[in-house]
Amino acid sequence: MRHLNPIILAILTLTLLGCSQKSEVKELKLAHGLDISHPVHTGMVYMADRLEKISDGKMKIKIYPSGQLGSERELLELLQIGSLSLTKVSAAIVENFAPKFRVLGLPYLFESSEHMYDVLDGPIGEGLLVEGEKFRFRGLCFYDAGSRSFYTKERPVNEPADLEGMKIRVMKSNTAMNMVSQLGGSPTPISFGELYTALQQGVVDGAENNPPSFYSSRHYEVCKYYSLDEHTSVPDVLLVSLEWWENMTEQEQKWLKQAALESVPYQRQEWAKSVKESLDAVKKAGVEIIRPDKSKFSSEVGPIYESYKDQAELYELILRIKEQVK
């Protein structure tokens, strides 16, 4: 057998080593529906940077923003079959798969941002994150998605009675639909990506969302009234496909979880800045900012809570959240 030239052997060895090292890099695909200027997207970019550093380049995340790979529901379905590694969706969408998430969409559930953070960062939040395992995905962390409020085209919303006769876009969430119905509006589920056109064409009279989403979506170009009733504080949740999670080593799981948790305080800081900047920007663009009496809204949603009394597990969870106010 001929002996290989030592130089050629060295080159082949380096090439094979290079291939081996390259194959060791695990790339995760993360898709979501937000614009790249959105503070939640910024939080995920931070997480991707941290993961690459923590893992010494062994794990990377490639992000597909702006609904490139589908709607939130479609992304969750891709996650379940393992065709997608990670996604960020609203907790309101997750409730269609994991019912316990329903409680996070209840109106006026949290007394303050601090109350929400205490719940989501503690045992209740961790319990919800693992709840999705039954449905082939697992939560890594919650991101602040602020408080959702109504924005409308033709007239302002100063009190619940103003919603009567209005078609209001909601997420495909039973909890969100029940809330708008209870307040007097007509809930209309529409994909977020289709909402701008729906508002323009009068398919709906308004919608509800947080200030950064209202601004980054450019819905303020159509809707000139923004009523800060802050009816819900539905967090976003970062999810990993259970198929991908179970195929990771224990070390890889720790790296991913660490990167996700480290991105949370950063994202919350970005969120707070973005809320102020977004409200200033839409006001400058001619939007009337209304600050209604929230008690008029919260007093109307009592029956929603009463309806949970016959669902012992969910009602106990609501009580635990309510009791956690400091």
In a shared domain, residues 70 and 187: no
What is the CATH classification number for the domain harbouring 191?
3.40.190.170
- Residue 290 domain-assigned? yes
pLDDT in tens, 239-276: 999 999 999 999 999 999 999 999 999 999 999 999 99
pTM of the model as a whole: 0.85
- Residue 131 domain-assigned? yes
In a shared domain, residues 239 and 134: yes
In a shared domain, residues 58 and 93: yes
- Residue 214 domain-assigned? yes
User: Does residue 29 have a pLDDT over 80?
Assistant: yes
In a shared domain, residues 50 and 184: no
- Burial classification of residue 310, based on how many CB atoms lie within 10 Å of its CB (0-12 exposed, 13-18 middle, 19 or more buried): exposed
Residues in the chain: 326
In a shared domain, residues 315 and 246: no
- Residue 138 domain-assigned? yes
- Of 105, 109, 111, the residue nearest 180 (C-alpha): 105
- Residue 228 domain-assigned? yes
Q: Where is 240: in which H helix or E strand? A: strand 236-241
- Residue 35 domain-assigned? yes
In a shared domain, residues 241 and 167: no
User: Does residue 77 have a pLDDT over 90?
Assistant: yes
Phi, psi of 59 (to 5 degrees): -130, 135
- Of 298, 306, 95, the residue nearest 189 (C-alpha): 95
Amino acid identity for residue 227 in this structure: S
Which of the four pLDDT bands, split at 50, 70 and 90, describes residue 308? very high
- Of 269, 117, 143, 145, the residue nearest 216 (C-alpha): 145
Question: What token pair was written down for 9?
Answer: 């052997």
How much is the mean pLDDT over the chain?
92
Separation of alpha carbons 271 and 35, rounded Å: 14
In a shared domain, residues 124 and 38: yes
- Residue 9 domain-assigned? no
- Residue 11 domain-assigned? no
Contact assessment for residue 169 and residue 189, using Cβ atoms and an 8 Å cutoff: yes
In a shared domain, residues 58 and 189: no
In a shared domain, residues 211 and 319: yes
Pairing status of strand 86-90 against strand 26-31: parallel
Which domain does 34 fall in, by range?
Answer: 25-145+235-277
- Bridge partners, 143 (sequence order): 236
pLDDT in tens, 146-193: 999 999 999 999 999 999 999 999 998 889 999 999 999 999 999 888
- Of 273, 293, 247, 266, the residue nearest 136 (C-alpha): 247
Name the domain count of the chain. 2
Which of the four pLDDT bands, split at 50, 70 and 90, describes residue 23? low
